Amino acid sequence: MPEELPVGVVGAGPSGVTVAASLRRAGYPVEVLERHSAIGGIWDLDNPGTPMYETAHYISSRTLSGYPGFPMPSDYPDYPRHDQILAYVRSYADHAGVTPFVRFGHEVVKAERRPAGDWQLAVRTPDGERERRYRALVLATGHQWEPRLPDWPGSFDGELYHAKFYRGPHQLRGKRVLVVGAGNSGVDIASDAARDARAATISLRRGYWIIPKHLFGRPVDVIAHGGPHLPKRLEQAVFAFLLRTFAGDPSRFGLPAPDHRVLDSHPIVNSTLVHHLAHGDVDVAPDVRALDGEYVEFIDGRRSPFDTIIAATGYRVHFPFLDPGLFRWHQHVPDLWLRVVDPELSGLFVVGMFETNAAAAPLLARQGELVAAVLRAQDTGRSDLKSLVRARPRLSGGLHYLNTDRHALAVEARAYEKEVSRALHALTSG
């Protein structure tokens, strides 16, 4: 392995900048390839193809969403807006000394592992296509770029698009809007529609717990973080009691009753949908059965006309520049050690490919440390590395995630942090 080559990181979003910082701290030369003209990933509304919209705010609080050792500014609100998060990620990249190592306007179009063990990339740059070689490759390209669209029978005469193409309320004005899906995108967009559309409906195929952004006047993740560490079932029971008592039963507002325990599906953190339901500004419909001209048929037999359907139905993991055969796939996602390390130790890593019940940045930073520690262990010829990366620790922390596509990437934040810490300890001791 030509160890003098740099490590290549693809993507200068929140993941790419922190893994680059860890690698640099560990003494590795790094090059970050970013197709856009600036740092920030999806948080930059000018990054072509971003799923971000003008009304997006964090669902995790300022207090807990910072990178370790670099808190979000204290004058930020409890739940910062997309442009504040963007500014924060950029200031972190500057603070961590990573910005000078980012090659902007560099899009990776092909990546292959060479027989010598290093990685050869074809990169589209403003000066034409270039080849680059790296000793290891870290994919930090995000997993919210490739829409997952339902295949409904029938055809629709109005406009139908995925949430990825929603930018803001101007797209809703004067229209009868149906939002399908009630992940955080769906509930945000339905709330915008309640305010700005001519009429708004949200279609859900199951009931969910909708967690308000504040409990007792404080950010809900701060309350949960500061509470006692209870066994998961007990924690779920206590949380469900608090939600029912202080936020109310979702079915009182016309939503279907949750069909699972709280936290067994990816948390929906939103205070505006219930507000608009309580004011009659948004209707609730069950799953879509078929499309028929300007009408949508729902599974309860209802038929309603719409001008616009927005499918907020989630995203697929996709690496368009990589042979999918390089990974072993499980439930449509690569099967990696701790969601990061190729168990074949091919020098291929993925950072940021998870969904969790807490802020992402602290875990992204830990993933960056893991990449650096595995490279170091390879360099020093750790004999037990192969057996370490074959382990498949449980990352659900006692939760029983719903068996749907969106949970294939789910990890319980505390359990995940514990397992990564354990791995780092094993890699760096002895």
Ligand X SMILES: NC(=O)c1ccc[n+]([C@@H]2O[C@H](COP(=O)([O-])OP(=O)(O)OC[C@H]3O[C@@H](n4cnc5c(N)ncnc54)[C@H](OP(=O)(O)O)[C@@H]3O)[C@@H](O)[C@H]2O)c1
Ligand Y SMILES: Cc1cc2nc3c(=O)[nH]c(=O)nc-3n(C[C@H](O)[C@H](O)[C@H](O)COP(=O)(O)OP(=O)(O)OC[C@H]3O[C@@H](n4cnc5c(N)ncnc54)[C@H](O)[C@@H]3O)c2cc1C
Binding-site ranges for ligand Y (CB under 6 A): 10-16, 33-36, 41-43, 47, 51-52, 56, 58-60, 107-108, 140-142, 144, 185, 321, 352, 359-360
Q: Which of 287, 291, 309 is nearest to 299 (CA)?
A: 287
Distance CA 5, CA 112 (A): 15
CB of 164 to ligand X, least distance (A): 8
Q: What is the pattern of x (binds ligand X, CB under 6 A) and - over residues 400-429?
A: ----x-x-----------------------
264 or 369, CB closer to ligand X?
264
CA 9 and chain centroid, separation: 18
Residues of span 27-66 touching ligand X by CB under 6 A: 56-59
Residues of span 132-171 touching ligand X by CB under 6 A: 144, 150, 163
CB of 36 to ligand Y, least distance (A): 4
181 or 368, CB closer to ligand X?
181
**Cβ 311 vs Cβ 162: under 8 Å:** yes
Residues of span 309-368 touching ligand X by CB under 6 A: 312-314, 355
Residue 206 binds to ligand X (criterion: CB under 6 A): yes
Residue 191 binds to ligand X (criterion: CB under 6 A): no
Residues of span 59-118 touching ligand X by CB under 6 A: 59
- What does 36 bind: ligand X, ligand Y, none (CB cut-off 5 to 8 Å by kind)? ligand Y
- What does 41 bind: ligand Y, ligand X, none (CB cut-off 5 to 8 Å by kind)? ligand Y
CB of 23 to ligand X, least distance (A): 25
Instruction: Give the β-pairing of 119-125 and 128-134.
Output: antiparallel
Residues that bind ligand X (CB under 6 A): 56-59, 144, 150, 163, 180-186, 188, 205-206, 265-266, 287, 312-314, 355, 404, 406
